[in-house]
Amino acid sequence: MINKAHFSTKARVVDLLGREQIADAPTAITELLKNAIDAAAENVEVRYNTKTRCLEIEDDGLGMRFDDLKSKWMVLATDSKHGQAEGSYNEEWAKYATSEQKEKLRKKPLGEKGIGRLAVAALGNGTLVWTRWGKGKDIQRSLLLVHWHFFRHSAFLLDEIKFPIAEVKKNEDPKQIATQLCKDFAEWFKEKQDDWTTIDQLTLAAEIKNDLEKIFPKAIEEVEFKNDMGTLFGVLKTASGVEEIYEIDKDVSANVEKIPSEGLRTFFGFSNPFLEKEARLKVSAKKDDKIIYGSGSDFEFWVPDDFKECDHKIDIEINGNGFAKGIITKSKSKIIKYERSFSHLLDKGAKPGSFKIILGYVPGTFPASVLTKPNFDRFTKRLREYGGLYVYRDGIRVMPYGRFDNDFLSFDERRARHAGRHYFAYRRMFGAILLTSDNNHRLQDKAGREGFIKNNDYRAFQKILIDLFIDLAKSHFVEKPQEEKKDTKSNAGAAHRTRVDQEKKDFFEKFNQAKQILEKENNKIDKKIKDYIRKIDSYEVKVIQDIREFEDIETGYYDLSNHFNETLDQLITEEPKSFTLEERYVLTWDDYLNKRNAFEVNIQKKINKLAKRIEKVNAEFKEEKERIIKIE
């Protein structure tokens, strides 16, 4: 006898697709910003309340009708966007859209799989959705409350979990209704508590109960319930990663007061800032009512005019057949036409599609730059804050490209092997690779938004870019050493030989001196840092003599940082221009460059570690230090 079987879905699948799949909080916020674009929003405000641990992400899009919230947003892998043809949209839903919003709706939607909404689960324990659609007599206002911990219980089936949802009438207060949702949810949960038996489940149950009865209602009291069209995602009892989004790091060794966190860069770089076109979505961010990003913030992200001010600009397009063509502006004035074919890299039927690269570059040392010292310092500060090569598709950032830890074209790895041959450093560049849905549809995002799936198309895309930058460095940015020419028949030839001889002598003097400095300072600075850290570990700053000793360490740290930077300036990196190194010196030179690069990277890492230790001690014993100062 033949029977029939079907798949059933455990509720835990939501946890696997949401909280456990999304890479981190910045990536989760990016997914919500994409949803705002699909709702034809022009603006999004991201507000964080540190007191209540509530993150509000609110857009001014078209919002959702009650049925949209219940039958589409609450349905996983919904087909409401999947396969939607460009130029089409739901006419009834867009009834109150402006002409500008309808134009936005005609673009291909960013969300198609119907699971991006689950990214919000990575941001906190609960989510309150407050959405408004329509105008006048047609207005619909809806509330939904979700607690994501229910999906971590292994016994429940997906359709067994019921979350409270309400249509808010015109004369009803949404804040009161939202609070009532918590009460109703808590009552429903009491009936299900018998299913929570293991230690882990009981721990989760206790947290859910506390959230619904105390944490969530207190946070809802501080939420601003607007009535204009749009959607608010209120993340209740945020995860630790949300707090880190709003952190501003201090990098004293680099003489930079404020360095935005990787999370803040998510807001800055969400919409492509490198072209003149208006951003698809304007994002502003607040922390406890203080503007962190947007009009009036302290941070200045990249703008198109920056390409006019930097040392070098690269503007190249690569077509679907791997042919690169464009313009290089070198040293702000020299215009070079560039053409080269990379078609040999399109093997195994790979078709990454056509794309554009626009990139600005500033060398790592002031003598190598054509900028004025103030402009060089200004660019250096901003490169420390936002440097890197971003990727945008249809004007929206593809995560995680552009992050400091995502050198996906291995610029710094090549420089570590041979800094003289490989000109480009990842942290000295700014710009983007520009893709479109139509031209580059075979470059597919991973489900967890951790970059592109590494298929043949991606590998060809990556190889073309790596070969392009290797060729650019070799053909236009690394000075080619000139062979010494014999000229015994004229005074000019003799003068030339004399000059080359002198340059050889000067170069090898600097080279030998640099090798000695490198060996000496590497051990000296490393030992000093270890001594400072050992002292910090060996005592508690609770008595006067310890605080005085700690202040000496702080002073020593600043002196050490400055000394490190001065040492780097003495360690030459450029190969001689007027003569070729003899073969017997090439290996020695390459070995020196590798050691010099390792010295810079390793010592900088240790200095940063020392800075964090000092900052931690200062934070822990701030009150004690202030008390002793008052006593004195």
Summarised one tens digit per residue, pLDDT across range 27-54 is 888 888 988 999 999 999 999 999 999 9
Residue 547: predicted pLDDT? 66
Q: What is the DSSP string of 177-211?
A: HHHHHHHHHHHHHHHHGGG--SHHHHHHHHHHHHI
Strand 282-287 to 290-293 pairing: antiparallel
Name the average pLDDT for the chain. Answer: 83
Residue 256: predicted pLDDT? 45
Asked whether the beta carbons of 428 and 386 are under 8 A apart, the reply is: no
Residue 78: predicted pLDDT? 65
Outline where 450-543 has alpha helix (H).
Answer: 456-472, 491-538
What does the pLDDT look like over 491-533, one tens digit per residue? 556 666 777 777 788 888 888 888 888 888 888 888 888 888 8
pLDDT at 358 over 90: yes
pLDDT at 174 over 90: yes
Q: What percent of the chain has pLDDT over 70?
A: 85
Residue 485 CB partners (closer than 8 Å, separation 6+): 493, 496
Give the Cα-Cα-Cα angle 23, 25, 26 (nearest 5 degrees).
90
pLDDT at 244 over 80: no
pLDDT at 251 over 60: no
Instruction: Please say whether the dihedral angle defined by the alpha carbons of residues 404, 406, 409 and 411, taken in this order, is positive or negative.
Output: positive
* pLDDT range class, residue 336, cuts 50, 70, 90: very high
pLDDT at 122 over 70: yes
With tokens 């918590």, the residue in question is 182
- Asked whether the bond before 352 is cis by omega within 30 degrees of 0, the reply is no
Give the Cα-Cα-Cα angle 131, 136, 137 (nearest 5 degrees).
95
CA atoms of 66 and 72, how far apart (whole Å): 10
pLDDT at 559 over 70: yes
* pLDDT range class, residue 543, cuts 50, 70, 90: low
CB atoms within 10 A of CB 7: 4
The first and second tokens of residue 516, run together, are 């000695």
Residue 265: predicted pLDDT? 79
CA atoms of 43 and 450, how far apart (whole Å): 25
What does the pLDDT look like over 380-439, one tens digit per residue? 988 988 899 999 999 999 988 988 888 899 898 888 877 778 889 998 999 999 999 899
- Higher pLDDT residue, 446 or 437? 437
Residue 561: predicted pLDDT? 80
pLDDT at 316 over 50: yes
Highest mean pLDDT: which range of 185-189, 214-218, 417-421, 573-577: 214-218
Segment holding 570, helix H or strand E: helix 544-570
Q: Which of 33-42, 177-186, 210-219, 295-304 has the lowest mean pLDDT?
A: 295-304
Residue 204 CB partners (closer than 8 Å, separation 6+): 149, 152, 153, 196
DSSP 8-class letter at 393: E
CB atoms within 10 A of CB 592: 19
Residue 338 CB partners (closer than 8 Å, separation 6+): 316, 324, 325, 326, 327, 328, 472, 476
Q: What is the DSSP string of 218-244?
A: HHHHH-----SSEEEEEEEEE-HHHHH
Strand 355-361 to 312-318 pairing: antiparallel
pLDDT at 580 over 60: yes
- What separation in angstroms does the CA of 508 have from each of 503, 568, 581? 9, 18, 10
